Amino acid sequence: MSQKLKQGLDKKLQSGGQQDAIKLLEEAYQCARPPSQLPPPWPQITAYRLAHLLMRSGCKTDWHKIDCLLEEASSGNSILGAMPLIYRLVSLQKCHAPPEKLEDVYESAVKKLNQQLPVLDKPKRDEGHLIQLNAVNLLEMAAYFIGLKYKTLEGQIELGNDFFANLGVGKSAWFVLDSQQEGSSIAYPESMARQIFTEQRGTGNCLAIEYNGDAYLPDRYIKNAFTEQQICDWYLRLKNVSLQSRRDKNKRCIVDPERTEEAERMSKKRFRDCLIKKLGLAVDQVNFDAWWKNDGSSNTVKSPIDKPVIMLINPMVFKKSPLSPIE
């Protein structure tokens, strides 16, 4: 699923190879919707991208289908900002929508210009992920609106600054792991991952952990709650990596890959003490032992405490870089 999303959003396909791109985007779009139903921004991004490609069909364009896609792209609290709404003005006009509807969407787009979510800001760690230049957007809109051939623009657009290009690659491979869900393989730019992480930790009684060791509980914030080694231990277990796999692959992401049995025992004790003494959490010994062992099965204990755990992480932050997520 994540591979289809990655291929469908590949920047090379956005500048040419229209038919191949449409096929991949349609597959990615279906992957993001029910029954899988990925969280925002994936349904919105794939709908937005697919709508863009379909608008390049000239006189054969199905504007009703495109309008439905752009309506979906502007959902989810308009996480993509004003652009889907701006392009929807084109599809609505082409569908002969009533003036009131056009006015309503236009006003929504104008409001969004001044309420741009942080997800579209330039993240410090995501070098190169900027918004496409406004001039390009306007040229595209002119081509769509007037029915000009898009081929004139193909290959003329520099997409190196495309915010959505190469999502989940290199420095942009940030994850929001959740003990209540299977280890996620969907990667985001840091700003996007941080927004999702912040929203999730604000809506439930959970332990939220950042890659730098900081932790959040519903009633307090604990700076440097966990060591780098403990963050790696969290990561491996939230990704549901079995003990054997950890032994086979831990050189890729663990701080001390040569831990002896005694060192492992001490690490486990320090980890448990941290939960109890530093965070003041209740820890059931049997439950904790099963979680720490983690055999990688579907019946594995999901959390060592009586709360769900979420984690904001980029595996490249570990010392043994360059790193990639364990699959």
Give the pairing of strands 207-210 and 309-313.
parallel
Are residue 244 and residue 137 in the same domain, yes or no? no
Are residue 140 and residue 226 in the same domain, yes or no? no
Are residue 298 and residue 191 in the same domain, yes or no? yes
Are residue 183 and residue 291 in the same domain, yes or no? yes
Are residue 221 and residue 263 in the same domain, yes or no? yes
**pTM for the whole structure:** 0.58
Q: With respect to residue 182, please indicate whether it lies within any of the assigned structural domains.
A: yes
How many angstroms separate the Cα of 80 from the Cα of each of 106, 206, 309?
16, 27, 27
Q: With respect to residue 165, please indicate whether it lies within any of the assigned structural domains.
A: no
Are residue 130 and residue 42 in the same domain, yes or no? yes
Task: Give SS3 for 125.
Answer: coil
| Tens digit of each residue's pLDDT (9 = 90 or more) over 287-314 | 999 888 876 665 677 889 989 999 998 8
Q: What mean pLDDT is predicted for residues 273-290? A: 92
Residue 270: what residue type? R
Q: With respect to residue 157, please indicate whether it lies within any of the assigned structural domains.
A: no
Are residue 124 and residue 200 in the same domain, yes or no? no
Q: Alpha helix locations (H) across 33-133?
A: 42-54, 63-73, 75-78, 83-94, 99-113
Q: Confirm if 109 and 85 have CB atoms less than 8 A apart.
A: yes
Are residue 28 and residue 74 in the same domain, yes or no? yes
Domain count, the chain: 2
Q: Confirm if 285 and 304 have CB atoms less than 8 A apart.
A: no
Q: With respect to residue 325, please indicate whether it lies within any of the assigned structural domains.
A: no
Are residue 290 and residue 253 in the same domain, yes or no? yes
In sequence order, which residues have a C-beta less than 8 Å from that of residue 232 and are 6 or more positions away? 253, 254, 255, 318
Q: With respect to residue 98, please indicate whether it lies within any of the assigned structural domains.
A: yes
Are residue 231 and residue 270 in the same domain, yes or no? yes
> Of 119, 152, 185, which one is at a domain's C-terminal end?
152
> Of 152, 183, 211, which one is at a domain's C-terminal end?
152
Assign 3-state DSSP to the chain and report helix, strand, coil percentages, each to 5: 55, 5, 40
> Of 86, 121, 152, which one is at a domain's C-terminal end?
152
Are residue 132 and residue 269 in the same domain, yes or no? no
CA angle 51, 55, 57 (to 5 degrees): 130
The range of the structural domain enclosing residue 280 comes to 170-317
Task: Give SS3 for 133.
Answer: coil
Q: With respect to residue 103, please indicate whether it lies within any of the assigned structural domains.
A: yes
| Tens digit of each residue's pLDDT (9 = 90 or more) over 170-229 | 566 788 898 887 656 677 777 778 888 898 888 878 999 999 999 999 999 999 999 988
The Cα–Cα gap between 147 and 60 comes to 10
Are residue 98 and residue 215 in the same domain, yes or no? no
| Tens digit of each residue's pLDDT (9 = 90 or more) over 126-164 | 443 334 456 556 667 766 776 666 676 665 555 554 555
Q: With respect to residue 29, please indicate whether it lies within any of the assigned structural domains.
A: yes
Report CA dihedral (178, 182, 183, 187) to the nearest 10 degrees.
Answer: -80
Q: With respect to residue 326, please indicate whether it lies within any of the assigned structural domains.
A: no
